[in-house]
C-alpha cells in the first residue's frame, strides 16, 4: 500500500489506524455548544480539552473543536462535495443540489459525472487504500460513488448488499430507519463502522442527514435525543480504534417572521411585479425530500431569458426586504469560489431570518407545520470542525479552516 | 536571536539570508506576463522555470510564479496591511485607505493605531530580528511603522535620517524622485537595499507605488521602462544575496466607456434621484494623491443616516448598469473577510470597466487627461505572487494562496 496519495493537488497520508470522517449535516455550532454544555455528548466532551468552541487541543482528551467555514451556498451537496474532494465548488463543480442546464431544464446533481474533481476516497481507492462511503440518503451516495469506491446508504440498506452478497441489513441486524426518522443518522454511523469492519476499510466517510436540525432547535427534546444517540455512535467508533473527525456541511436557523410563519420572498413573483418577464428562479436546496424545508433556503439563483433585463432584475431583487445581497454571475463565482456555469445569472442572498422561493404557487408550505428552519446563505457558513484525537502542533493555529480541510486534518495532522 | 517568532498565530522562521518582500503595487498579472514574454525582465525570468504564470518551480532558476488572491476591496492599504500582518482585513482592521467614523467624519487610515493586528515586522523586531520597512509613499510608511520597526519612505527621503544621523538621501547618493515620477518604485527598492545594508536588516519590506499602472497599460512605453528598471533593481537585490519575493496588492484595468472617457456611476446622485436622502458614499480608494485616479475605484461604501432606507437604497444601487453586486454590511464583511465596523451599510461592487464615485461635483475628472485606469473590485483580485528562490516541495501545490501568504512563503518555505 502507498504511504501517501494525491487528490486534487493535495497529498494525503495513508493512515495507520482506520479513520472515520463524518459530515455532520446541519450541525450549526449552536447545537454542538448546547449539547456539550448540558453534558449530552459525554464521549465527544471527553475527547475535547474544553466544552466550548474555544477549545483547541491541550486538554486531557487532546481533541480539537474549531469553527471553520462552509462552502457557499450552504447546502448539502456542495459541502459534501467540498469535504470529499478537499477543494472548492469552483474546482469540483458542485454548486447546488440542483442546477439549470443549457436547455433550461432543472437537473438534480446526483450523478458522479457532475464532479469535476475526483474524490479523496476515489484517489485512496486507486492507490490501494481501502475506502468506504456510507450516506444517510441514497441521492448523496450516488454522487459519492465516484471512482468505484464501495458506497452504501442507510436509506436503501434494505436493497443493498456487500460485495460478498451479504444483505446490508444483515450486517447490523437491524432494519434501517425511515428517511424522516431521527435515528437514521446514528444508524448511518453504526452501518459505516460495521461495513468498514467487514471490508477492512481504512478511510471511511459517513454523511448524516439534517432532518432533525430542520425540525428542532438546539435544546429541543428531539435535538437532545439526537445528539445523545450520535455521541454514543461516535463512542463506538472511538472504542473500535477509529480516528474520528466531524465537519458540518452548514449551520441552521429559524427562518420565520414575528408570527412564527415562514418568512419567504418569492422571487419570480417579485420580478413579475417589477416588470421583469422571462426570469426563472432556481432554489438549489431543491431535492426529492422536501417535507422538512419545502425547497426553501437562504440563497437562490435567478436565470434570465434576456440578459438585457439584468440591471432591472438586480434592482428589483435587491430592494426586497430580507434580501441582503444580489450578485451577478461573475461576482458570485468570484466571491464564493463557485463554478460560473453552474449558478444563475444572478445570485440572491437572504438574511438570517429569510428564505427565498420561486413563486407562491411552486412551494407547498403546508407540509412545514407552520415553522421553518433552513440554511443556504452566509449565516449558515460557520460550522464546527472536530477532531477527537490530538493534532500535531501548528495543525490549526493561524489557518483559516474550511470543512473541506477535514481530511487534511485527519490524514496529515493527527499526532 | 530567536529561530522563529509568531505573528497573529502564525509561526515564521528567522531567515539565515536577508529577505526582501516587495509589495508590487498595481501589478496586474497582465503586466508581468507581458514583460516576461517580451524579455523586459531578464533577471526575474532567469529565476523562474518558465515565462508565464503557469511556472512553478522545477526550472533552472527554480523560482515560483503563481496567481494568488488579494484582499477585497482591492485597494493599496488593505492589501499592504494584509501582506505585512499575514491576516485578513477582518483581523487586521484595515478595510480601505479611508473610512467613515462613528461621528460621520471621513478619516485617512494612515496611523498604526488603526491596526488591530501587529505586523510581522513588529513581531520580528520584538524577537530581536532586524526588520525594515521602506515605502514609496510616506502615508503608507506611517501605517507600517507599527511596533518601532525602522521605516522610511522614498517620498520623504530628503527629510529622513538613519538612526546614526546620516541623511537618507546620502545613503544612495541620489535625490529621491517625485511622487509622480515613474522611477520612484525602483528607487524604493534600491533605498531599501542600501538602508538594509547599513542597518543589517534581515527582514525587509519594500512597498512600491502604482502611478505607472494607473497611467499606462501593459506594453505601453512607460510600462516597459518601469518593468525593466524594477527588474534591474530586483537583480541588485539578488546579487546582494537576498531571498526575493513579490506580491501585488491589486490588479488594474481600464475603466472607460466605448468613447474612452471614464465610466463612472455617481452613487449619491443616483440615490438622490431614486428618492433616498441621507446617503453618504465613501470611496475607500481616496488618498491625498488623486491625480492618477480621481478617487474613483470599483468598490464603494454607502452609509445611510436612516437604516429604514436600506431596502430602497439597495434596489437603487443594484439597478445601475455596471454595478455587478450590492451587499449589506454583514454580507460584505462575511464574503470578503472585512471588519464590519469599518465598511459601509452597503457595499457596492462595479464590474471590470466601471468605477464608482460620490457625486459628479465631488470628483475632478479633468486631472485624468481623458482616460482612467483603476482597481478596487473583484476584477482586480487576481495578483502575481513570485518567489525568486526555490521553494520546498508542497509549498504551493494544493494551497489557495493569498498575497498575505507572501511572508509565510519567504520565511517558512524557501528550500
Question: Do the Cβ atoms of A318 and B324 come within 8 Å?
Answer: no
Distance CA B5, CA B380 (A): 32
Stronger pLDDT, A61 or A135, i.e. the higher one: A135
* pLDDT at position B55: 41
Nearby residues of A224 by Cβ (< 8 Å), 6 or more positions away: A35, A38, A40
- Clarify whether residues B132 and B10 are in a common domain: yes
Distance CA B139, CA B77 (A): 10
Question: Do the Cβ atoms of B318 and A321 come within 8 Å?
Answer: no
Give per-residue pLDDT as tens, B74-104.
Answer: 999 999 999 999 999 999 999 998 888 888 8
Give the pairing type, strands A243-247 and A382-387.
antiparallel
- Clarify whether residues A172 and A75 are in a common domain: yes
* pLDDT at position A60: 61
Q: What is residue A245's DSSP assignment?
A: E
Q: Which of B165-169, B247-251, B408-412 has the lowest mean pLDDT?
A: B165-169
Distance CA A73, CA A377 (A): 6
Distance CA A103, CA A67 (A): 40
**CATH, residue A88:** 3.40.720.10
Comparing alpha-carbon positions, the chain B residue that sits nearest to A324 is B328
Mean pLDDT, rounded, for B191-207: 97
* pLDDT at position B129: 97
- The cell for A405 is 480541510
What backbone torsions phi and psi does residue B66 show, to the nearest 5 degrees? -125, 160
pTM of the model: 0.94
- Within-domain flag for A258: no
* Structural domain of B330: 264-374
Query: What residues of chain A lie within 8 A of the CB of B331, using their CB?
Result: 324-325, 349, 378
Query: What residues of chain B lie within 8 A of the CB of A320, using their CB?
Result: 311, 315
Distance CA A205, CA A132 (A): 6
Mean pLDDT, rounded, for B203-211: 97
Query: What residues of chain A lie within 8 A of the CB of B319, using their CB?
Result: 311-312, 314-316, 318
* pLDDT at position A289: 65
Does residue B36 sit in helix, strand or coil? helix
Does residue A386 sit in helix, strand or coil? strand
- Clarify whether residues B244 and B280 are in a common domain: no
- How near does any CA of chain A get to the CA of B329, in Å? 8
- Clarify whether residues B234 and B296 are in a common domain: no
Give per-residue pLDDT as tens, B222-259.
Answer: 999 999 999 999 999 999 999 999 999 999 999 999 88
Question: Do the Cβ atoms of A398 and B316 come within 8 Å?
Answer: no
**CATH, residue B317:** 3.30.1360.110
CA-based angle A311:B282:B215, to the nearest 5? 85
Query: What residues of chain A lie within 8 A of the CB of B10, using their CB?
Result: 397-398
- Within-domain flag for A195: yes
Give per-residue pLDDT as tens, A243-280.
Answer: 999 999 999 999 999 888 899 999 999 999 999 999 99
Give start and end residues of each alpha helix (H) in A306-373. Answer: 310-318, 329-336
Does residue B37 sit in helix, strand or coil? helix
Stronger pLDDT, B364 or A95, i.e. the higher one: A95
Instruction: Tell me how far CA of residue B186 lies from CA of B178, B205, B290, in angstroms.
Output: 12, 13, 21
- The cell for B339 is 471588519
Distance CA B113, CA B118 (A): 10
Interface mutation target, options A8, A54, A320, A324, chain B, most CBs of B under 10 Å? A324
- Cα atoms found within 13 Å of the Cα of residue A68, Cβ hemisphere only: 29
- Clarify whether residues A244 and A369 are in a common domain: no
Distance CA A63, CA A338 (A): 32
* pLDDT at position B49: 65
Distance CA A400, CA B401 (A): 12
Q: Which of A261-265, B167-171, B217-221, B396-400 has the lowest mean pLDDT?
A: B396-400
Distance CA B413, CA A93 (A): 31
Q: What is residue A14's DSSP assignment?
A: P
Question: Do the Cβ atoms of A319 and B311 come within 8 Å?
Answer: yes
Q: How many domains does chain A have?
A: 2
- Within-domain flag for B388: yes
- Clarify whether residues B186 and B290 are in a common domain: no
* pLDDT at position B249: 98
Does residue A298 sit in helix, strand or coil? coil
- Within-domain flag for A9: yes
Give per-residue pLDDT as tens, B280-336.
Answer: 999 998 876 665 678 899 999 999 999 999 999 999 999 999 999 999 999 999 999
- Clarify whether residues A346 and A197 are in a common domain: no
* pLDDT at position B402: 98
Distance CA A1, CA A15 (A): 11
Q: Is the pLDDT of residue A201 over 90?
A: yes
Does residue A110 sit in helix, strand or coil? coil
- Within-domain flag for B257: no
Mean pLDDT of chain B: 93
- Clarify whether residues A219 and A335 are in a common domain: no
* pLDDT at position A77: 94
What percent of chain A clears pLDDT 70, i.e. is strictly above it? Answer: 96
Mean pLDDT, rounded, for A213-232: 97
Stronger pLDDT, B353 or A173, i.e. the higher one: B353
Mean pLDDT, rounded, for B334-357: 97
Q: Is the pLDDT of residue A51 over 90?
A: no
Q: Considering only the beta carbons, identify the residue of A8, A312, A398 that sits closest to B319.
A: A312
Query: What residues of chain B lie within 8 A of the CB of A397, using their CB?
Result: 9-11
Q: Which of A193-197, B35-39, B106-110, B353-357 has the lowest mean pLDDT?
A: B106-110
Sign of CA dihedral B102, B103, B107, B112: negative
- Clarify whether residues B164 and B36 are in a common domain: yes
* pLDDT at position B272: 98
Mean pLDDT, rounded, for A193-202: 97
- The cell for B20 is 526582501
- Within-domain flag for B127: yes
* pLDDT at position A230: 98
Distance CA B168, CA B158 (A): 7
Produce one character per residue of B188-203: b if its CB has 16 or more CB atoms within 10 Å, e if not.
bbbbbbbbbeebebbb
Query: What residues of chain A lie within 8 A of the CB of B334, using their CB?
Result: 378, 381
- Within-domain flag for B258: no
* pLDDT at position B60: 61
Q: Considering only the beta carbons, identify the residue of B314, B331, B381 that sits closest to A319.
A: B314
Q: Considering only the beta carbons, identify the residue of A317, A321, A331 that sits closest to B349.
A: A331
Q: Considering only the beta carbons, identify the residue of B9, B320, B324 that sits closest to A327.
A: B324
Q: Is the pLDDT of residue B51 over 60?
A: no
Q: Considering only the beta carbons, identify the residue of A315, A318, A335 that sits closest to B335.
A: A335
CB A223 within 8 A of CB A31: yes
- How near does any CA of chain A get to the CA of B282, in Å? 19
Does residue B303 sit in helix, strand or coil? strand
- Clarify whether residues B207 and B334 are in a common domain: no
Query: What residues of chain B lie within 8 A of the CB of A324, using their CB?
Result: 327-328, 330-331
Give per-residue pLDDT as tens, A137-147.
Answer: 998 998 888 89
Distance CA A294, CA B399 (A): 38
CB A83 within 8 A of CB A89: no
CB B212 within 8 A of CB B24: no
- Within-domain flag for B23: yes
Distance CA A68, CA A247 (A): 8
Stronger pLDDT, A362 or B89, i.e. the higher one: B89
Query: Could you tell me how many residues make up chain B?
Result: 415
Q: How confident is the model at residue B340 (pLDDT cuts 50, 70, 90)?
A: very high
- Clarify whether residues A385 and A286 are in a common domain: no
- Cβ atoms within 10 Å, residue A348: 27
Question: Do the Cβ atoms of A397 and B324 come within 8 Å?
Answer: no
Question: Do the Cβ atoms of A325 and B325 come within 8 Å?
Answer: yes
Beta bridge partners of A10: A7
Nearby residues of B16 by Cβ (< 8 Å), 6 or more positions away: none
Binding-site residues on chain A for chain B (CB distance < 8 A): 8-11, 86, 88, 311-312, 314-321, 323-328, 330-332, 334-336, 349, 351, 378, 381, 394, 397-398, 400
Q: Where are the beta strands (DSSP E) in A252-333?
A: 253-254, 264-266, 279-282, 299-304, 323-328
Residue of B243, B241, B237, B206 lying closest to B409 (CA atoms): B243
Q: Is the pLDDT of residue B59 over 50?
A: no
Q: How confident is the model at residue B210 (pLDDT cuts 50, 70, 90)?
A: very high
CB B264 within 8 A of CB B217: no
Distance CA B188, CA B183 (A): 9
Residue of B10, B87, B7 lying closest to A393 (CA atoms): B10
Binding-site residues on chain B for chain A (CB distance < 8 A): 8-11, 86, 88, 311-312, 314-321, 323-328, 330-332, 334-336, 349, 351, 378, 381, 394, 397-398, 400
Nearby residues of A75 by Cβ (< 8 Å), 6 or more positions away: A96, A97, A249, A250, A284, A285, A297, A299, A375, A376
Question: Do the Cβ atoms of A398 and B8 come within 8 Å?
Answer: yes
Q: How far is CA B182 from the centre of its chain?
A: 17
Instruction: Work out the burial of residue B15: count CB atoms within 10 Å of its CB; fewer than 13 is exposed, 13-18 middle, 19 or more buried.
Output: middle
- The cell for B145 is 511603522
Mean pLDDT of chain A: 93
Q: Is the pLDDT of residue A50 over 90?
A: no
- The cell for A23 is 459530515
- Clarify whether residues B175 and B282 are in a common domain: no
Amino acid at each position: 500500500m502507498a504511504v501517501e496519495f494525491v487528490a486534487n493537488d493535495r497529498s494525503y497520508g495513508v493512515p495507520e489506524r482506520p479513520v472515520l470522517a463524518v459530515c455532520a449535516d446541519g450541525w450549526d455550532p449552536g447545537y454542538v455548544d448546547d449539547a456539550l454544555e448540558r453534558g449530552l455528548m459525554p464521549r465527544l466532551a471527553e475527547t475535547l480539552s474544553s466544552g466550548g468552541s474555544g477549545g483547541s487541543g491541550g486538554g486531557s482528551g487532546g481533541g480539537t473543536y474549531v469553527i471553520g467555514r462552509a462552502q457557499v451556498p450552504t447546502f448539502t451537496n456542495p459541502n459534501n462535495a467540498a469535504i470529499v474532494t478537499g477543494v472548492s465548488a469552483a474546482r469540483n463543480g458542485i454548486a447546488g443540489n440542483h442546477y439549470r442546464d443549457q436547455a433550461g431544464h432543472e437537473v438534480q446533481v446526483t450523478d458522479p459525472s457532475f464532479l469535476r474533481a475526483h474524490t479523496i476516497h476515489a484517489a485512496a481507492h486507486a492507490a490501494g487504500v481501502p475506502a468506504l462511503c456510507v450516506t444517510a440518503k441514497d441521492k448523496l451516495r450516488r454522487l459519492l460513488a465516484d471512482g468505484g469506491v464501495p458506497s452504501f446508504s442507510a436509506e436503501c440498506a434494505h436493497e443493498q448488499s456487500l460485495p460478498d452478497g451479504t444483505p446490508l441489513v444483515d450486517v447490523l441486524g437491524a432494519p434501517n430507519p425511515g428517511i424522516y426518522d431521527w435515528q437514521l443518522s446514528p444508524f448511518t454511523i453504526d452501518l459505516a463502522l460495521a461495513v468498514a469492519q467487514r471490508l477492512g476499510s481504512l478511510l471511511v466517510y459517513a454523511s448524516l442527514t439534517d432532518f432533525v436540525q430542520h425540525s428542532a432547535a438546539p435544546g429541543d427534546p428531539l435535538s437532545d435525543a439526537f445528539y445523545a444517540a450520535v455521541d454514543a455512535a461516535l463512542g463506538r467508533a472511538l472504542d473500535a480504534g477509529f480516528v474520528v473527525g466531524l465537519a458540518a456541511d452548514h449551520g441552521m436557523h429559524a427562518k420565520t417572521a414575528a408570527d412564527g410563519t415562514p418568512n419567504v420572498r418569492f422571487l419570480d413573483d417579485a420580478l413579475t411585479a417589477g416588470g421583469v418577464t422571462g426570469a426563472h428562479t432556481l432554489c438549489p436546496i431543491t431535492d426529492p425530500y422536501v417535507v422538512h424545508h419545502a425547497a426553501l433556503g437562504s440563497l437562490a439563483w435567478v436565470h434570465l431569458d434576456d440578459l438585457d433585463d439584468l440591471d432591472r432584475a438586480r434592482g428589483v431583487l435587491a430592494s426586497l426586504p430580507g434580501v441582503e445581497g444580489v450578485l451577478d454571475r461573475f461576482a458570485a463565482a468570484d466571491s464564493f469560489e463557485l463554478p460560473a456555469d453552474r449558478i444563475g445569472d444572478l445570485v440572491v442572498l437572504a438574511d438570517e431570518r429569510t428564505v427565498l422561493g420561486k413563486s407562491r404557487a411552486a412551494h407547498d408550505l403546508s407540509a412545514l407545520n407552520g415553522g421553518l428552519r433552513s440554511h443556504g446563505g452566509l449565516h449558515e457558513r460557520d460550522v464546527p470542525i472536530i477532531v477527537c484525537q490530538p493534532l500535531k502542533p501548528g495543525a490549526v493555529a493561524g489557518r483559516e479552516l474550511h470543512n473541506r480541510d477535514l481530511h487534511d486534518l485527519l490524514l496529515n495532522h493527527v499526532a
